[in-house]
Structure 1
Amino acid sequence: MIKKVEFAVPPHLKKFIEGTYLTQEKGFIKIGKRSHLGRLIQFVQKVDPYPKKYKVPENSTVLKLQYYDESYSTYFPVEKAKELCELIDAEFRRELICEVRSVHEYSRVIDYTPFVRRFLDRYGIIPDVDIEMETARKIYRDYLAKISKEFQKTFR
Structure 2
Amino acid sequence: MIKKVEFAVPPHIKKFIEGTYDVTDKGFVKVEKRSELGRLIEFVERVDPYPKKYKADANLPVLKIQYYDESYSTYFPIDKIKEFCNLLDAEFRRALVCEVRSVHEYSRVEDYTPFVRRFLDRYGIIPDVDIEMETARKVYRDYLVKISRNFHKNFS
RMSD: 0.7
- Report the counterpart of residue 115 of structure 1 in structure 2: 115
What's the CA shift for 1:38? Answer: 0.5
- Report the counterpart of residue 86 of structure 2 in structure 1: 86
- Report the counterpart of residue 35 of structure 1 in structure 2: 35
Q: Which amino acid aligns with 2:80?
A: K
The unaligned stretches of length 5 or more in structure 1 are none
Q: Deviations over 1:11-53 (max 9, x none)?
A: 0000000000023241111100000000110111111111000
Counterparts of 1:1-156 in structure 2, within 5 Å, are 1-156=1-156
SS at match of 2:17: helix
TM-score (norm 2): 0.98
Identical pairs, percent: 78
For this pair of structures, how many residues does the alignment match? 156
TM-score (norm 1): 0.98
Q: Which amino acid aligns with 1:27?
A: G
Q: Deviations over 1:53-112 (max 9, x none)?
A: 000111221000000001111110011111110000000000000000000000000000
Mapped contact 2:29–2:66 kept (Cα < 8 A): yes
Q: Which amino acid aligns with 1:125?
A: I
Q: Which amino acid aligns with 1:130?
A: D
Mapped contact 2:5–2:64 kept (Cα < 8 A): yes
Question: In 2, distance between residues paired with 1:51 and 1:70?
Answer: 16
SS at match of 1:6: strand
Question: In 1, distance between residues paired with 2:48 and 2:106?
Answer: 52
